[in-house]
Structure 1
Amino acid sequence: MGILSASVSVAKNEQERDALQGWYWYDWANQAFALTVLTVVVPALTASMYNTATGTQSGDSFYALVLGLSSLFVALVSPVLGAIADRIEIKRKILWAYTIVGVIFTAMMGLAPFLGEGTNYMFLAVCLVIGNIGFAGGNVIYYAFMPYLAEKEDVDHVSSWGYAYGFMGGSSILIVHLGLGLTLGFTPTILAFIFVTSALWWLGWGYQLFLKTPEPKLPSPKEYESSMEAVKDGFREVANTFREIKKYKSLSIFLVSYLLFFDGVNTIGGMAAAYGESVLRLSTTMNFVLLLMVNIVAIPMTIIGGKAARRFGTKEVLTGALIVYCVVAILAVGFAPLDLNDDHERYDFQYDWDEADDAYELTTLYDRGVDAWVSDSGEGDAKFRDAFMEFLQDDSGDERSSLPIDEATVLASRMMGELDHRFSFSFNGGDLDGERSVGIIHPTMIGDGELSWWPETLRDNLWEPLGFGVNLQWIMLGTMVGIVMGTVGAQARSMMVMLTPRTKAAEFFGFFGFIGKAAAFIGPII
């Protein structure tokens, strides 16, 4: 049985098969935003732009704030829109509006790499806030279709296949983007192409839902004389639901637990790339490869999770997957780059002796160049600029590709005394061979915080004995996430369908969205 046939095997006729396929294709479509944009590119790009503009290491915190604000908006409006969608046959129209907003602002992100330092990350942040509103708000309505597409005994199957389609679609376009980046480099033009094609992928494949999946029929739709009247009725119904929530005890307990566990799940997924870029200083390519691998692993594991849920129970499978997430979270707190030591190519500014030119040639980490690492005006890099920029740039601001031996000797001496910065230097060959320096704010300097003992313990007793650099740590834990990531999302969605009256599907999924986005706000902000 092929993938398409297996995914719609619960459908009873051709009309139901078409409706299910259209619904699946929307998951395939918007995962271009969820994976390439929201998980891989924007977190790392925003953090990098912010760090370069400010001269700090707090780009991941800035990204968390931006992501949290967009999630807060969706959390506030989702229950009301859901209540309206349960009274008017308007789900497709709301989803279409959210889709168009998301597509437009995803494409507009392509302008950010061409803007100047300071402006670029702010523009990207604004586009992210609005684009994520389109994505996350649309998902709330999209989920509300599911009770009309499957009987309750089939929701594990449908939910799991929906997630699997999403992982397949997101991975397919990410492979194209990764190939371009590895071949041509992640230049501003390539980044713009990535954003625009992600938007077109979302729009093109997502349109299948609007062609094939009909508007769910309501038993007694209401008519309103104006949009304002519908909004007021939506607020009233949300208030009534809050008052009557005690009638749905199991659902209430589930929503509270969902807030708690999804807070962790969402934070791990949403912040991974920004944390890898800003704190662990991973390369863009490494982030792409890892997150692609995670999603490829998640495709079969999500389907297996759905089959396991039908055999052992949705709650039991969800619980097992969450236990794995807990293990991942505990180990992730212990991420620790190994000491640089003699690994010359891991240093930010690498000087190699060139016998022919009688000078030291400069190479920067990941070949990003000095401008991409050091802020032009940010306060965080002020001391570093004062001490070292004369060696890295000439008077016109162009990068100095080499240093004669006399200047290199001065740099080697100065870098040993000026350590209040976030960078590292290394000399290889020539008279200065083996001269190295690491700033006290460099990622390998764990610090003396309350939890610093944990990464130090893991680095000394696990990562270093195994030879696990931060890339291997990243891959190992990423694989563990991939095994259970889709299962958590799919089975949580299945539980919601099982506990929700069909006539209140959109409204209750509005609350589901509210809880999810509240978690998406709380986790990154913390």
Structure 2
Amino acid sequence: MGILSASVSVAKSDEEKNSLQAWYWYDWANQAFALTVLTVVVPALTAGMYNTATGTQSGDSFYALVLGLSSLFVAVVSPVLGAVADRIEIKKKILWAYTIVGVVFTALMGLAPYLGEGTDYMFLAVCLVVGNIGFAGGNVIYYAFMPYLSRKEDADHVSSWGYAYGFMGGSSLLIIHLGLGLGFGFSPGILAFIFVTSALWWLGWGYQLFLKTPEPSLPNPKEYDGWVDAVKDGINEVVNSFREIRKYKSLSIFLVSYLLFFDGVNTIGGIASAYGESVLRLSQQMNFVLLLMVNIVAIPMTIIGGKAASRFGTKRVLISALGVYCVVAILAVGFAPLELEDDHQRYDFQYDWDQEEGKYRLSTLYDRGVDSWVSDSGEGDAAFRSAFMEYLENEDGSERKMLDKQDAMLLAGSMGDELSHRFSFSFKGGDVDGQRSVGDLHPTRIGDGELSWWPETLREELWKPLGFGVNSQWILLGTMVGVVMGTVGAQARSMMVMMTPQTKAAEFFGFFGFIGKAAAFVGPIIYGITANMYNSRVAVFTIMIVILAGTALLTMVDLEEGASVASEVDDAAWKLNNEE
């Protein structure tokens, strides 16, 4: 049985198969945004632009705040739009509007690399906020189709395959983008191409849902004089649902637990790339490779997770997956670059003796160039600019590619005097061979902040003896996340479907979206504030505590009771419709 036929094997007719298949394709489509844009490119790019503009290494906390704010709008409007969509047959229209917003602003992100320092990261942040509204808001409505496309006993199968399609679609496009980046470098032109093709992928593949998946039928559709009346009615229904929430005890407990554990899971996924850029100083290529690997691992593991849920229970499998995320967070706190020592290629500014020229030739880490590392005016790099820019740039501001012996000796002699910066120098060959300097704010300098003992201990007792640099550490994390990432999302959605009345699907998935976006708002905000008050490692540890709290609450959910209540509500709604 092929992949396509296996994914729709629970459908009973050709029409149902086509509808379900088209629904899967939308997951395939919008993962271009979720993976390439939201997970791989934008976090590291925004953090890097911010670090360069400000001369700091706090780009991860800035990105966390932007990511959190981008979810606020969706969190507020999702329940209301969901309630309206359960009264008027307009789910596809709402999803289309969200899709267009997301597609347009994803494409506009391609302009950011062409803008000047300081303007670039702010423009990218604005596009991210609006683009993420289109993505996240659309997902709320997209999820609400699921109860109409599958029976509750098939929820694990359909939810897992939906996630698997997403990982396959996102990975397919990411492979193309990675190939271009490795072959030609991540120049402004390549980055613009990445953003535009991500937008077109989303629109092109996603359009099948609008062609082949029917608008879900409602038992008692209403008619309104205008949008204002519809929204008012939606608000009233949301208020009533909050009042009646006691009827859905198990669902209520689940939603609170979901708020907590998804808060942590979402934050880890959203911040990973920015954390790698700011805390571990990973290359953009490494972030691409890692996150591609995560998604490739997630494809089969999500399907396996769905089968395991059918055999061992959805809740049990979800709890086990969340346990793995806690281990991931503990390890992430302890990740640390190995000390540079004599590894010349890992220094930010590398000077190699050119025998033919009789001078030292400058190379920069990851070939990013001086401009991409050092801020032109940011306060954080002020001391560094004052002490060293005469050796790195010419008077006209261009990069100084060569240093003669005299200037090389002056730089080598002075680079140990000013260490209040985030960079490193190394000389290889010639008269100053072996002269090196590492600033006090460089990522290899863990410092003495809160929890610094943990990465110091792991570096000395584990990473260094094993020869595990940050790339290897990052791959270890990626493998672990890939094993459980899809399972967490798919089984959480599956539990939601099981406890949701079909007749209140959009409204309840509006609540589900509200909780998810509240988590997407709260988690990054907590991370950003904690990182600024303490450091990024403490911020990750805080996220682990939140996941543990959500997991503990999840153990209290009675899935059978929740499903029984949902069935009773549906039976009552259709009975009323038949009587009318």
Q: TM-score range by the shorter chain?
A: over 0.9
Partner of 2:310: 310
Distance across 1 between alignment mates of 2:166 and 2:481: 16
Q: Deviations over 1:346-376 (max 9, x none)?
A: 0000001111111111000000100000001
Letter in 2 for 1:263: D
Q: Deviations over 1:136-178 (max 9, x none)?
A: 0000000000000000000100000000000000000000000
Distance across 1 between alignment mates of 2:300 and 2:145: 24
Letter in 1 for 2:6: A
Partner of 2:28: 28
Any idea what SS the aligned residue of 1:333 has? helix
Partner of 2:363: 363
Distance across 2 between alignment mates of 1:410 and 1:475: 40
The answer on 1:433 being equivalent to 2:433 is yes
Any idea what SS the aligned residue of 1:418 has? coil
Partner of 1:223: 223
Any idea what SS the aligned residue of 2:244 has? helix
Partner of 1:459: 459
Q: Deviations over 1:447-492 (max 9, x none)?
A: 1111111111111111111110000000001100000000000000
Partner of 2:398: 398
Shift of 1:331: 0.8
Any idea what SS the aligned residue of 2:440 has? coil
Any idea what SS the aligned residue of 1:475 has? helix
Letter in 2 for 1:499: M
Q: Deviations over 1:83-128 (max 9, x none)?
A: 1111110100000000000000000000000011111111000000
Partner of 1:513: 513
Distance across 2 between alignment mates of 1:279 and 1:182: 23
Partner of 2:242: 242
How do 1:338-357 residues align onto structure 2 when only pairs under 5 Å count?
338-357=338-357
Q: Deviations over 1:374-414 (max 9, x none)?
A: 00111111110000000000100000001001101110111
The answer for unaligned runs of 5 or more in structure 1 is none
Letter in 2 for 1:141: I
Distance across 2 between alignment mates of 1:493 and 1:286: 31
Distance across 2 between alignment mates of 1:219 and 1:261: 34
Distance across 2 between alignment mates of 1:326 and 1:51: 29
Distance across 1 between alignment mates of 2:246 and 2:325: 30
Partner of 2:104: 104
Letter in 2 for 1:350: Q
Partner of 2:376: 376
The answer on 1:17 being equivalent to 2:32 is no
Partner of 2:576: none
Shift of 1:41: 0.3
Task: Give the count of matched residue pairs.
Answer: 526
Distance across 2 between alignment mates of 1:39 and 1:57: 19
The answer on 1:121 being equivalent to 2:121 is yes
Any idea what SS the aligned residue of 1:445 has? coil
Distance across 2 between alignment mates of 1:358 and 1:240: 80
Partner of 2:203: 203
Partner of 2:267: 267
Distance across 1 between alignment mates of 2:267 and 2:427: 39
The answer on 1:144 being equivalent to 2:138 is no
Partner of 2:544: none
Distance across 2 between alignment mates of 1:386 and 1:180: 37
Using the aligned pairs only, state the percent identity.
82
Any idea what SS the aligned residue of 2:334 has? coil
Shift of 1:522: 1.4
Any idea what SS the aligned residue of 1:416 has? coil
Partner of 2:171: 171
Distance across 2 between alignment mates of 1:77 and 1:525: 19
Letter in 1 for 2:471: N
Distance across 2 between alignment mates of 1:231 and 1:57: 44
How do 1:31-180 residues align onto structure 2 when only pairs under 5 Å count?
31-180=31-180
Any idea what SS the aligned residue of 1:306 has? helix
Distance across 2 between alignment mates of 1:278 and 1:194: 22
Letter in 2 for 1:46: T
Distance across 1 between alignment mates of 2:417 and 2:522: 41
Q: Deviations over 1:154-206 (max 9, x none)?
A: 01000000000000000000000001111111100000000000000000000
Partner of 2:559: none
Distance across 2 between alignment mates of 1:332 and 1:73: 30
Shift of 1:234: 0.9
Distance across 2 between alignment mates of 1:306 and 1:440: 48
Distance across 2 between alignment mates of 1:313 and 1:240: 32
Any idea what SS the aligned residue of 1:216 has? coil
Partner of 1:468: 468
Partner of 2:257: 257
Any idea what SS the aligned residue of 2:361 has? strand
Distance across 2 between alignment mates of 1:243 and 1:433: 74
Distance across 1 between alignment mates of 2:229 and 2:457: 60
RMSD of aligned Cα (Å): 0.6
